[in-house]
A and B are shown apart, each in its own frame.
Chain A
Amino acid sequence: MATTTVPPTPLKKVNRIGLEQVDYKGNKTTLCAGCGHNAISERIIEAFYEMGVEPSRVVKLSGIGCSSKSPAYFLRSAYGFNAVHGRMPSVATGAMLANQHLIAVGVSGDGDTASIGIGQFVHLMRRNLPIIYIIEDNGVYGLTKGQFSATADVGSKLKTGVINDLPPIDTCALAILLGATYVARSFSGDKRQLLALLEGAVAHYGTAMLDVISPCVTFNDHEGSTKSYSYVKDHESPLEDVSFVPFFEDITVDYDPGTTTEITLHDGSRMLLKKLDNDYDPANKSEALRVLTEAHDKNEVVTGLFYVDTKRESFIDQLNLVDEPLATLPESRVRPPKSALDEVMESLR
């Protein structure tokens, strides 16, 4: 007697487009064990899986550095481009011009953005190109073995004992000032906040700039560093409690009036920012800049969604492009007829 009971096939957990989370994974990381960047890659995988983004619509772009290696470690079947140092923004811009239906994820580091790449960074922020721009910010150059970057705080100490005496560039303050429309800071160790902020960035259409403090376990995780795990844990000061409700989930969240700011993003998803001990308005630029400046003065690592503007036109909108990707327009639409050439020639006689 052989009643074989076929064990029920466990239902695979899939997202709204039928993909499993494993479909969003990348190659095995080659970064150091414990590197904050790996945690960020994990959150990106979760966010894109949760949001049900089709990987073939995603372009992953990066510059040079440890951070810029990480696009190989998520969304394997997406398209990747490892550009030159500090100049990923222009490559991303070009790609988005060629095909405005792409979803661009740019991964940069603090050196790649705030030093060699500051020129392209500020102009990317000005344009409000639709892109999720992530700075994996550890205050040091990793691949060249531990020199200070321009986001290092005054007084922060290298392993070699060198003290940084130049003020840091606050990439969030710059981004807000220059026109980015979704600006946040988070910490690679804060899973919940970072995931919500990344999901919000996917739902936003415009430049979403996320500065994520991501400690370098090899060169900047020691006593005296202001970008170490322990320093950030001790000094993190969340601005609000961030949660995200995707547009495709019918969830009602109850909250007492006045306690939470609700922001509807471009695709209909909602960010819920529960106020902590302040009365923060993420639509107010000067308020955001004040909070950032004060945090520096108080040696606090303020995190959260600082600024959102869902009204400003994106760079793509301003260009008034045809609906189809420019990249694949047929010859009939990009080569004017002979009559056009004849007309021009006649005007030059």
Chain B
Amino acid sequence: MGITEVAICEAESPSEPKRVVNDMSIQVATVNGSGSQTSNLVLLRAIFQMGIPVSGKNMFPSNIAGLPTWFTIRTSRQGYIGRRKEIDLLVAMNPETVEEDVLSLEPGAAVVYDERLDAKKFRDDLIFYPVPFDKLVAPVCPDAKLRKLVRNMIYVGVVAKLIGVDMDEVEKALRKQFKKKVKAADLNFAAVKAGYEFADKSLVKQDHYWLERMNLNEGKIMIEGNAAAALGAMFAGVTVVTWYPITPSSSLCETLIDYMKRYRIDPETKKATFAIVQCEDELAAVGMVIGAGWAGARSMTATAGPGISLMAEFVGLGYYAEVPGVIFDVQRVGPSTGLPTRTAQGDVLTTGILSHGDTKHPLFFPCSPAECFTMAIEAFDLSEVLQTPVFVMSDLDLGMNIWMSDPFPYPEKPIQRGKVLTAEDLDRLGGFQRYKDVDGDGIGYRTLPGTRHPAAGYFARGSGHDERAIYSEKPDVYVNNMDRLARKWETARRLAPGPVIEEGGDGGIGIIAYGTTHWAVVETLDQLKREQGIEASYCRLRAYPFSDEVIDFIRRHERVYVVEQNRDAQLRGLLRLDIDPGLSKKLRSVRHYDGLPIDARSVTDAIVAQEVEAHRDAPEEVQA
């Protein structure tokens, strides 16, 4: 905790009253199903429109209505958009959690609360702003049935007044949220104003948190990772989409359906240049992906961990039969009931080697909506070039939360469809051998079913086939094929995007991270430097298989912290499969697995603790 205290002292100046500008976290605690998501998004968007870097994290239960839900809005003038654990302003609306919510705050935090909850009784070291929600909502919403939904808009107004959110931006954000529903927008904005006016008249500002306009969001968009991945798939030219609903991936396909209906209907014939099928389960979803990929479509599905487990057998067949297909895995916490609506990077190891036999699959690790978009496109190209299933490893935090982003770049490279032979090619070549390594890169040439040529047909099957795709159980034939697949994996290593490396310091400490963990790590790098004088290098992985640059990065550093959001250091496990045992000793691990998005403070604390340990151990090693 020492480190946190240092940070607070630095912000405080003894002579002037503390004024913290554009650097705060607001947490709204409500009941699931009470319409609070709209209120929270209005607040988030209004702050975004003020040009202040902002992020929103929804922590919601697996439930339709009734269970507690929390939404955190973080503003950061430095541009940090990872999660921050410490809450400066709590909006307490949920009687079930108010005590726990209030008790978890640091001294000096502020609480806006429904006066019926009597939040004040739990603490005397916080700033309390009681609000009579029922009294305020009744006059603006005569229809008693709607009040439950509208009353949450009141806190938007209260918070806006307290911290200085521009009401014009609130109105703009609210009208954008309600789109064409003008009456609903009017009603809700009246509630916002009621809250604002109440705060103006009846609350005395005692906290130190303020928002002021900045201009850091020029041209930026706000989008969820799932919507970004959907757009990526559409611009990648996906033609067959199969899916089975599962949190947190459902919105990827649902958004894709909307976009495809809008942009992928042939303008002349009004017919679809795509097929989207909601399947009976994930087994069928991935089976259709494999069937469609085999027959030449750009095919995809989206799922989460339980779906990945179900897809395991088919994905192995895809690897052996060498069929392209893209699978988006929006990762979440483990099996069955419990925390299916919480985030994790929990499928990395199992997906990298999914299925039985010797199987390995390329993985992409997007860290942002922009990468969900670009990597979706790259994944389709890589999958067809390599003729193998490829995974895009998103997570709940990235997929379902709304993020600030630069607008997405239009793809410059033409679509790459890999080695496909046409009837004309076959006329010229006189035939082909499906699984023969003609070019030395481990990738054979394929034909698409329906190619009208007597030599085009072949039989796709699992483990036992020769270069001509003829059934064989001969040991040397099997070994040849497996060795060729290993060569193909080396081609994948060359083609998959390499890491993004930021050199810092003198080669002492390196950090490896991937996906959404990135946002905690960039902040940790600054914290380590500011608070401990440690300059660390950073290697952000973008794909598996790992390129040689990753190995070099590990070689160059004394201690390398692999930071990830799972218990078992899954990515470190994958790294260990690839590197010398000597290098492997350099790898240390920082793991975060409580279901909430990883935060910089936890990472910094964990690294500092291990560094202290390392320095304590070092002299003994010298003595020995």
Contact with A along B414-432 (1 / 0, CB 8 A): 1100000000000000000
Contacts of B235 in A (CB 8 A): 335-336, 341
Whole-angstrom distance between the Cβ of B322 and the nearest chain A Cβ: 12
Does the CB pair B239–A345 fall under 8 Å? Answer: no
In A278-319, the 8 Å CB interface with B consists of: 319
Does the CB pair A56–B456 fall under 8 Å? Answer: yes
**B-side interface residues, number (CB < 8 Å):** 73
Among A71, A123, A323, A328, contact of B280 (Cβ-Cβ < 8 Å): A123
A82→B259 CA distance, assembly (Å): 35
Whole-angstrom distance between the Cβ of A288 and the nearest chain B Cβ: 24
Query: For the complex, is B146 an interface residue (Cβ under 8 Å from A)?
Result: no
A79-B287 CB under 8 A given contacts A57-B450, A98-B239, A123-B280: no
A92-B291 CB under 8 A given contacts A98-B239, A328-B296: yes
A13→B280 CA distance, assembly (Å): 46
Query: For the complex, is B471 an interface residue (Cβ under 8 Å from A)?
Result: yes
The chain B residue sitting closest to A55, CB to CB, is: B457
Contacts of A79 in B (CB 8 A): 447, 449-450, 456-460
The total of Cβ contacts below 8 Å across the A-B interface reads 219
Does the CB pair B221–A94 fall under 8 Å? Answer: no
A189→B213 CA distance, assembly (Å): 84
The chain B residue sitting closest to A71, CB to CB, is: B459
Does the CB pair A123–B284 fall under 8 Å? Answer: yes
Whole-angstrom distance between the Cβ of A77 and the nearest chain B Cβ: 5
Among A54, A94, A99, contact of B242 (Cβ-Cβ < 8 Å): A94
Contacts of B294 in A (CB 8 A): 81, 91, 94-95, 98
Does the CB pair B264–A336 fall under 8 Å? Answer: yes
Contact with B along A75-86 (1 / 0, CB 8 A): 011111111100
A101→B314 CA distance, assembly (Å): 25
Does the CB pair A59–B288 fall under 8 Å? Answer: no
The chain B residue sitting closest to A336, CB to CB, is: B263
Does the CB pair A334–B299 fall under 8 Å? Answer: no
Query: For the complex, is B177 an interface residue (Cβ under 8 Å from A)?
Result: no
Query: For the complex, is A331 an interface residue (Cβ under 8 Å from B)?
Result: yes
Does the CB pair A87–B314 fall under 8 Å? Answer: yes
Whole-angstrom distance between the Cβ of B332 and the nearest chain A Cβ: 24
Contacts of B414 in A (CB 8 A): 331
The chain B residue sitting closest to A100, CB to CB, is: B275
In B528-563, the 8 Å CB interface with A consists of: none
Query: For the complex, is A327 an interface residue (Cβ under 8 Å from B)?
Result: yes
Query: For the complex, is A93 an interface residue (Cβ under 8 Å from B)?
Result: yes
In B265-307, the 8 Å CB interface with A consists of: 266, 269-275, 277, 279-281, 283-299
Does the CB pair B287–A91 fall under 8 Å? Answer: yes
Does the CB pair A77–B291 fall under 8 Å? Answer: no
Of the listed stretches B67-75, B404-412, B477-485, B493-501, chain A binds: B404-412
Query: For the complex, is A320 an interface residue (Cβ under 8 Å from B)?
Result: yes
A201→B414 CA distance, assembly (Å): 42
A77→B458 CA distance, assembly (Å): 7
Does the CB pair B288–A90 fall under 8 Å? Answer: yes
A95-B449 CB under 8 A given contacts A320-B271, A341-B235: yes
Query: For the complex, is A97 an interface residue (Cβ under 8 Å from B)?
Result: yes
Contacts of B264 in A (CB 8 A): 334, 336
Query: For the complex, is A340 an interface residue (Cβ under 8 Å from B)?
Result: yes
A349→B408 CA distance, assembly (Å): 12
Contact with B along A324-341 (1 / 0, CB 8 A): 011111010111101011
A94→B295 CA distance, assembly (Å): 8
Query: For the complex, is A11 an interface residue (Cβ under 8 Å from B)?
Result: no
Query: For the complex, is B454 an interface residue (Cβ under 8 Å from A)?
Result: yes
Query: For the complex, is B21 an interface residue (Cβ under 8 Å from A)?
Result: no
The chain A residue sitting closest to B239, CB to CB, is: A326
Query: For the complex, is A321 an interface residue (Cβ under 8 Å from B)?
Result: yes
Query: For the complex, is B102 an interface residue (Cβ under 8 Å from A)?
Result: no
A344→B289 CA distance, assembly (Å): 27
A326-B240 CB under 8 A given contacts A94-B293, A98-B292, A99-B448: yes
Query: For the complex, is B174 an interface residue (Cβ under 8 Å from A)?
Result: no
Contacts of B280 in A (CB 8 A): 119-120, 123
Contacts of A95 in B (CB 8 A): 291-292, 294-295, 449
The chain B residue sitting closest to A30, CB to CB, is: B471
Query: For the complex, is A263 an interface residue (Cβ under 8 Å from B)?
Result: no
Does the CB pair A56–B453 fall under 8 Å? Answer: yes
Does the CB pair A341–B410 fall under 8 Å? Answer: yes
Contacts of B289 in A (CB 8 A): 94
Contacts of B288 in A (CB 8 A): 90-91, 93-94, 97
Query: For the complex, is B31 an interface residue (Cβ under 8 Å from A)?
Result: no
A349→B173 CA distance, assembly (Å): 10
Query: For the complex, is B372 an interface residue (Cβ under 8 Å from A)?
Result: no
A340→B623 CA distance, assembly (Å): 67
Does the CB pair B277–A93 fall under 8 Å? Answer: yes
Does the CB pair B239–A81 fall under 8 Å? Answer: no
A61→B294 CA distance, assembly (Å): 12
Does the CB pair A98–B240 fall under 8 Å? Answer: yes
Does the CB pair B454–A56 fall under 8 Å? Answer: yes
A83→B274 CA distance, assembly (Å): 24
Contacts of B454 in A (CB 8 A): 55-56, 77
Contact with A along B56-81 (1 / 0, CB 8 A): 00000000000000000000000000
Contacts of B471 in A (CB 8 A): 72
Query: For the complex, is B317 an interface residue (Cβ under 8 Å from A)?
Result: yes
Contacts of A72 in B (CB 8 A): 459, 471
Does the CB pair B314–A322 fall under 8 Å? Answer: no
Does the CB pair A59–B449 fall under 8 Å? Answer: yes
A322-B240 CB under 8 A given contacts A94-B291, A102-B450, A120-B284: no
Query: For the complex, is A6 an interface residue (Cβ under 8 Å from B)?
Result: no
The chain A residue sitting closest to B449, CB to CB, is: A79
A320→B261 CA distance, assembly (Å): 12
A320→B266 CA distance, assembly (Å): 11
Query: For the complex, is A348 an interface residue (Cβ under 8 Å from B)?
Result: yes
Does the CB pair A333–B273 fall under 8 Å? Answer: yes
Contacts of A61 in B (CB 8 A): 291
A349-B240 CB under 8 A given contacts A91-B287, A95-B291: no
A99→B284 CA distance, assembly (Å): 18
Among A77, A99, A323, A331, contact of B296 (Cβ-Cβ < 8 Å): A99
A122→B259 CA distance, assembly (Å): 31
Contacts of B459 in A (CB 8 A): 71-72, 79-82
Contact with A along B447-477 (1 / 0, CB 8 A): 1111111111111111000000001000000
Among B284, B321, B456, contact of A81 (Cβ-Cβ < 8 Å): B321
A321→B449 CA distance, assembly (Å): 18
Contacts of B239 in A (CB 8 A): 98, 326-327, 329, 334
Q: Chain A CB within 10 Å — which of B271, B297, B448 has the most?
A: B297
Contacts of B35 in A (CB 8 A): none
The chain B residue sitting closest to A335, CB to CB, is: B237
Query: For the complex, is B93 an interface residue (Cβ under 8 Å from A)?
Result: no
Contact with B along A46-65 (1 / 0, CB 8 A): 00000000111101010000
Does the CB pair A82–B291 fall under 8 Å? Answer: no
In B562-612, the 8 Å CB interface with A consists of: none
Contacts of A336 in B (CB 8 A): 234-235, 263-264
Contacts of A345 in B (CB 8 A): 221, 407-408
Does the CB pair B259–A344 fall under 8 Å? Answer: yes
In B317-374, the 8 Å CB interface with A consists of: 317, 321
A319→B457 CA distance, assembly (Å): 27
Does the CB pair B283–A119 fall under 8 Å? Answer: yes
Among B220, B266, B290, contact of A94 (Cβ-Cβ < 8 Å): B290
The chain A residue sitting closest to B221, CB to CB, is: A348
24 CB-based A-B contacts, threshold 8 Å: A56-B450, A57-B450, A77-B457, A79-B456, A87-B287, A89-B284, A90-B285, A90-B286, A93-B284, A93-B288, A95-B292, A97-B292, A98-B296, A120-B287, A320-B272, A322-B266, A323-B269, A325-B296, A331-B237, A334-B238, A338-B410, A341-B235, A345-B221, A348-B407
- For the A-B complex with A95-B291, A333-B273 known, give 7 more contacts whose Cβ atoms are closer than 8 Å: A77-B456, A81-B294, A97-B275, A102-B450, A319-B275, A325-B450, A336-B263
Closest CB pairs A-B (n = 3): A94-B291, A90-B287, A327-B296
